[in-house]
Amino acid sequence: MNKIITISREFGSGGREIGKRLADRLGLAYYDREIITEVAKKTEMAEQYIQNINENGVSPYPFQFAKSFATYSNFQKHQTEILIVEQDVIKHIAQKGNCVIVGRGANSILKGYNPMNIFVYADMESKLNRCRNRMSENENFTDKELKNKIIQVDKSRKNYHNIISSLEWGDKRNYNLCINTSGIEIKTVIPSLANYIETWFGGNNK
C-alpha cells in the first residue's frame, strides 16, 4: 500500500510548510494547489473561483456570493460539483503513489487507504506572526483583520470537512499525530518528525 500523509491544519499554523518539507525529506510527491488546478481542468471553472468556494463558500447559505435565488442555485450546483470532483482527484492521487496531501478533507476521503493523518495547530499569536511574515509588500492588514481572517478560514475548513465527513475537524482522536507549532521554527522539527513517520509506516504496513 502506498505511503500517504494527509495534513489538516489551522490557518497560519504552518501546516503547508510542514507538508512540503516532509515531502522533500521523505522523497514523496506533494499536492496542495495542484489539486485545485486539476479540478479546474475537469470542471472548466477558474482556479480562483474554486479556491474562493473552498475557503469561503462551503456553507448551506453562502449569501456572500449569492445575490439572488438563481445565483444561489447555480452556486450550490458548482459547490457540489467541485466537492465530487475534488474527491475523485484526491483518490486518484493516492492510487498513483507515495504522497503528501494538504487539506481538502483528504484524511476522511482516504480513510480506506490507511494514511498517516496529521493535524497542525498553534496559538493565535504564532499564527498571526506567520501570517505577517507571509504577507507581500502591498498587503497591510491590521492584527484585527488578520485574526478575523484566521477565524473565518478555519470556520470554512471546518464546514467543508463536516460536509464530507462525520469526523470532527481538529478533534485529536481523528488523527494519528497532532503538532503544536506555537513558538517553534518548523524546519527544526522536520528530521525527528520524518523519522517518526517512517517508523509509523513501518509498523502499520507489516
**Does residue 206 lie in a domain region?**
no
Q: What is the rounded average pLDDT of the residues 160-185?
A: 89
What per-residue confidence (pLDDT) applies to 68?
47
- CATH number of 156's domain: 3.40.50.300
Percent of the chain with pLDDT over 90: 55
User: What is the pLDDT, as a whole number, of residue 114?
Assistant: 93
In a domain, 146, yes or no: yes
Tens of pLDDT, residue by residue over 8-54, are 999 999 999 999 999 999 999 999 989 999 999 998 888 888 887 76
Other CB atoms within 10 Å distance of the CB of residue 201: 20
Q: Which of 77, 80, 93 is nearest to 32 (CA)?
A: 93
79 belongs to a structural domain: yes
Mean pLDDT (whole number) for 133-137:
81
What is the CA angle 153-16-118, rounded to 5? 90
Q: Could you give the CA distance from residue 124 to residue 182 in angstroms, rounded to a whole number?
A: 8
DSSP, collapsed to helix, strand or coil, labels residue 116 as strand
Q: What angle do CA 55, 56, 60 make, to 5 degrees?
A: 120
Is a pLDDT exceeding 70 seen at residue 99? yes
Q: What is the DSSP letter of 168?
A: P
pLDDT at residue number 148? 93
- Please count the structural domains in the chain: 1
Band the pLDDT of 94: cuts 50, 70, 90: very high
Of 166, 156, 163, nearest to 80 by C-alpha is: 163
**156 inside domain:** yes
Alpha-carbon Rg for the chain, nearest whole angstrom, is 17
* pLDDT tier, 72 (very low <50, low <70, confident <90, very high otherwise): very low
Find, among 69, 68, 39, 44, the residue nearest to 54 by Cα: 39
Asked whether 120 and 17 are in contact (CB, 8 A), the reply is: no
**Residue 77: domain span:** 4-198
Tell me the average pLDDT across 101-130. Answer: 94
Query: Does residue 205 fall inside a structural domain?
Result: no
Domain assignment present for 203: no
Q: What pLDDT band is residue 205 in, cutting at 50, 70 and 90?
A: low
